Amino acid sequence: MNLYQSFIEALESLVSNKMRTGLTVLGVVIGVAAVIAMLAVGEGAQSSITGQIEGIGTNVVFISPGGDEDVRNPKPLTLSDAEALADPLAAPNVAAVAPILSGRNDVTYGGESSSVSILGVTPEYEMVSNEALTEGEFINETDILGRGSVAVIGPDTAEKLFDRTDGITGETIRINGQPFRVVGVLESKGGTGLGSQDDRILVPITTAQSRLMQRDPKDSVSSIHIQASSSEGVNAAVDEISEILRLRHRTEIGMDDFTIFTQQSILDTASAITGVFTIFLGGVAGISLLVGGIGIMNIMLVSVTERTREIGLRKALGARKRDILSQFLTESVVLSLLGGIMGIILAWILATVIGAVAAASGTPITPQISLGSILLATLFSMAVGLLFGLYPANRAASLQPVEALRFE
């Protein structure tokens, strides 16, 4: 019996028991769809997170206060530190420095109120963080020197307060009860579990220090973002930054009271976390595919029992052991293959629905179904069919013709 004949007979046998075949295939369909959909969600999350990080730029360095736990009396980062880091003689590999003062305040407009992330920034923040505006202009040096009551808002914040994202420049909002004139609207950057980049308000850092977020000392900042002169100069810039801050804070090597992150280190960490997350999701979904395989074995064992007399008759007429083995293995593989094909279709539908739900909930994760995940799930389903069909097929092939013919 050749492969084509085994395939035709397998189809005839499966079609003759439509309900049983359908229920068995359903287990494989759900398993394959779950594996592909979960892998797609994991890859989509990874792509979204890394895309946001890369959107800032490939040569950005982040400095935050706090370092080794053994450091006594750690000093905060200050505007003076930022000015020292901007010295081209001391740090030739530093292109721009953007100190940031962050907090959260209540913002109101026309009866609408919302708690929004407020960032006190300098004009350099626009270049360092790779910001773009859909309308208006960014905070300038005049706003810094005059402690101007101006604000640049994110698109999500604009939607919350104004129910629109255009024609907002010139409007007045209140932050902690104080009036601020909107001078620009940021271009959307999206958001993930790391936080939304679209729901925030930028104000001059001097205004934030004097009127919104008083700190001790007065010139302390939450963090400092630095743009290196090039991607190749990031490591040199980190060395220069470390040396300057150690001198200013009077700390020894290994006892830093500050922490430096590079773009690449954040990307590596994010990729590692989302990679583990994707593997975990795929593993959990793979359990359902395993359950589907057990269903195939169960049905094939039932089929062997029901067709015992048929098997005996075939062997009495000259069918060899390998012919019987091939017939039942083919049925098992066909079951899993049909489930795999239907599972791919269901996975595409699930991924589309998950993406739509995520976008509607403000978490724009777009599931990405890759060819690799399709091949992995399909081959795995076929392997499951082959593995779980092997025992029933071998049991059928090992039946003695006389005993099989006498079976009732």
What share of the chain in percent tops pLDDT 70?
A: 83
Residue 194 has pLDDT above 50, yes or no: no
List of residues 6+ apart from 89 with CB closer than 8 A: none
The reply to whether 274 and 322 lie within a common domain is: yes
The reply to whether 48 and 157 lie within a common domain is: no
Q: Which of 210, 236, 256 is the last residue of a domain?
A: 256
Question: Does residue 263 belong to any structural domain of this protein?
Answer: no
The reply to whether 298 and 388 lie within a common domain is: yes
Backbone φ/ψ region at 250: left (φ over 0), alpha (ψ -120 to 50), beta: left
The reply to whether 47 and 99 lie within a common domain is: no
Question: Does residue 261 belong to any structural domain of this protein?
Answer: no
The reply to whether 314 and 283 lie within a common domain is: yes
Q: What pLDDT is recorded for position 115?
A: 87
The reply to whether 47 and 155 lie within a common domain is: no
Give 71-120 pLDDT, tens digit per residue: 667 788 999 999 999 998 988 999 899 999 999 888 998 877 888 899 99
Q: How many domains does the chain have?
A: 2
The reply to whether 25 and 134 lie within a common domain is: no
0.85 exceeded by the pTM? no
The reply to whether 13 and 135 lie within a common domain is: no
The reply to whether 226 and 292 lie within a common domain is: no
Query: 345: how many CB neighbours lie within 10 A of its CB?
Result: 12
Residue 239 has pLDDT above 60, yes or no: yes
Give 287-339 pLDDT, tens digit per residue: 777 777 777 777 777 777 766 666 676 666 676 777 777 777 787 788 888 88
Question: Does residue 60 belong to any structural domain of this protein?
Answer: no
d(CA 384, CA 390): 10
> Helices in 317-370 by DSSP H: which ranges?
321-360
Range of the domain at 229: 67-256
The reply to whether 97 and 30 lie within a common domain is: no
Question: Does residue 129 belong to any structural domain of this protein?
Answer: yes
Q: Which of 256, 288, 311 is the last residue of a domain?
A: 256
Question: Does residue 262 belong to any structural domain of this protein?
Answer: no
The reply to whether 217 and 77 lie within a common domain is: yes
In three-state secondary structure terms, 125 is: helix
List of residues 6+ apart from 37 with CB closer than 8 A: 285, 347, 350, 351, 354, 367
The two three-digit tokens of residue 23, written as one number: 């229920």
Number of H helices, E strands in the chain: 13, 12
Q: Which of 223, 256, 289 is the last residue of a domain?
A: 256
The reply to whether 245 and 274 lie within a common domain is: no
Q: What pLDDT is recorded for position 193?
A: 41
Residue 368 has pLDDT above 90, yes or no: no
Question: Does residue 377 belong to any structural domain of this protein?
Answer: yes
Question: Does residue 58 belong to any structural domain of this protein?
Answer: no
Query: 80: how many CB neighbours lie within 10 A of its CB?
Result: 14
- Judged by average pLDDT, the poorest of 147-151, 223-227, 312-316, 390-394 is 312-316
Question: Does residue 329 belong to any structural domain of this protein?
Answer: yes
Residue 132 has pLDDT above 80, yes or no: yes
d(CA 348, CA 134): 34
